Amino acid sequence: MGLLRSFLFVFLALLVLAFGVLVGIDNSAPVSLIFLDWQSPALPVFVWVCLGLAVGFLLGVGLTGVGTLRQRHGRRQAERDLEAARRALKATRSPDNG
């Protein structure tokens, strides 16, 4: 099953790569982006699309990482609170306490 999954992954990766090459060949006309008064250097459309995808990927990874760190911190705090509550409960149930 693992071999089939690896083969499928490689096949899909090559298919995506081939599609990307075709898109790159088809969109090779240089364009410059204009934002307010700033004008970018003229680069092929494919480069701009790849840059946009890369920025989106990095933002997604960054935001996911921040969310994961917040969840880990919250879980650790909850585990500490639970352990403190267990110790307090054990102290109230001990026979030499009452």
Give the domain ranges of the chain.
29-97
First and final C-alpha spacing in the chain: 61
10 Å Cβ neighbour count for 44? 15
> Does the pLDDT value for residue 98 go beyond 60?
no
pTM score of the predicted model: 0.57
Lowest mean pLDDT across 11-20, 53-62, 82-91: 11-20
Report, as an integer, the average pLDDT of 51-79: 93
Report, as an integer, the average pLDDT of 27-53: 88
Q: Which two tokens stand for residue 93?
A: 């149930």
Phi, psi of 80 (to 5 degrees): -65, -45
Looking at residue 55, what is its pLDDT? 94
Is-contact 44 30, C-beta < 8 A?
yes
Q: Residue written as tokens 């909850």?
A: 78
